[in-house]
Amino acid sequence: MEQYVYLSIIFFSLITFFLYIYIVFEKTVETYRNKRRKKYYKKLVPYVDFIVNEIIEGKDLELFATKNLKILCKNKEKREIIEERLIHYFEEYKGEFLPKLIELCEYTKIVKYEIQNLKDKNSFKKALAAKRLGEFREWKSAGALLNELRTRNSDVQYNILLALAKIGDEDYFIKAFETIDSAVILSERSLIEIVDSFEGNKHKINKYMINQDNSFIAGVFIKSAGNHKDISLSKDISQYLFNENKELRIASIKAIGSIGDETYLEDIIKLLEDNEWEVRAIAARALGNFTDSRILTPLTKALSDNEWYVRYNAATSILDHKDGINVISGVLRGEDKFAKDIIISAIENSSNGAHLYENSQNPDKVELALLIKEYTDDKNKEIAT
């Protein structure tokens, strides 16, 4: 029995010893790599800065400088430092010199190296390669990015789509969304962010994709068009205002409201009576973007809606309107407690609180402040009793 105990001790001691040796070796290698990287960094960063500054100043680069950079990029560690420095310029600067910077990345074969990394089985490396290709904005990498788009890894898919957005080729970007049509693994917010960042012809891609059969994808592009307030797309967007799909109705209302196209004002007013309360709530909020006085009567009616969010959004939109003060005074003089309560709630949560009305030089606002005080005092008395 003792023999087995001794053998076990020796065995575990050997494992501990070799583990220690391995850790020491790894630490030594890591320290050496860090020192070597710092050495490369000190030499390469000023060199890259010099080349980029020459490009920014519009000077013709000497063939020797670009050829030397190309040779340096053959070394993986040196290439990493060069890429990181070039990406810094892509992120920080915009201007006429960018095409020359893109050309430099193509000449030094940095783009080619990253396209190879894009095929790596490691998802982290693949996502990083896609991100870098996006920063370099080289059109020739678009095809390779598209080929790697069918993936179940959300980071990879996100970075590939974002890269294609930065490259800005309309046809490839449209193909990308057609490719993921039935395999979307990203959130709507992420997709809208990607579409918003597209650096090509936004109108072209939005107009095409808004009319897609996939309602989720169409909704993404509708919302993006609304973010950019592209009034020329109002007609395309308006076809979804009464669509049977609730999410498309909501997306189109938001977009038309953001754009502020009064051509479809009556349609949005009608949607205050939609069967779905979410649609009514969004319609009530969207009407706050319009200055036409036609919105006030239907919004006043919406103050009595069964859903709190609809009532609150209607009250907020009335407060935002230049003639809303007259409506508010009328409501506070009326008998509808639902409407009164929601108006008071909206005023309390707005930047134009009741105290501002009290100190106003406008007699209508002073009168409104008195009505608010009178109603809240009565309300407090009711609660007390």
What does the pLDDT profile of the chain (385 residues) look like in tens digits? 666 666 677 777 777 767 777 777 677 767 766 677 788 788 888 888 888 888 777 766 666 777 888 888 898 888 999 999 999 888 887 767 788 888 888 888 999 999 999 999 999 999 999 999 999 998 999 999 999 998 889 999 999 999 999 999 999 999 999 988 777 789 999 999 999 999 999 999 999 999 988 999 999 999 999 999 999 999 999 999 999 999 999 999 999 999 999 999 999 999 999 999 999 999 999 999 999 999 999 999 999 999 999 999 999 999 889 888 888 888 878 777 778 888 888 887 876 555 455 555 566 666 666 777 766 766 666 665 6
Residue 35 lies in a domain: yes
Residue 243 and residue 292 in one domain: no
Among 76, 93, 108, which residue terminates a domain?
108
Residue 248 and residue 287 in one domain: no
Residue 120 lies in a domain: no
Residue 82 lies in a domain: yes
Residue 86 and residue 41 in one domain: yes
Q: Nearest-CA neighbor of 280 among 321, 319, 249, 323?
A: 249
Residue 154 lies in a domain: no
Length reported for the chain: 385
Residue 113 lies in a domain: no
Residue 180 lies in a domain: no
Among 108, 131, 146, which residue terminates a domain?
108
pLDDT score recorded for residue 1? 60
Among 93, 108, 123, which residue terminates a domain?
108
Residue 332 and residue 230 in one domain: no
CA 287 to centroid of chain Cα atoms: 24
pLDDT score recorded for residue 353? 55
For the chain, how many structural domains are there in total? 3
Residue 283 and residue 324 in one domain: yes
| CATH code: domain of residue 219 | 1.25.10.10
Residue 372 and residue 267 in one domain: yes
Which positions ≥6 away from 263 have C-beta within 8 Å?
Answer: 234, 238
Its pTM stands at 0.81
pLDDT score recorded for residue 211? 92
**CA-to-CA distance for 264 and 242, rounded, in angstroms?**
12
End-to-end CA distance of the chain: 87
pLDDT score recorded for residue 171? 95
Domain with 255, as residue range(s), is 201-259
Residue 302 and residue 214 in one domain: no
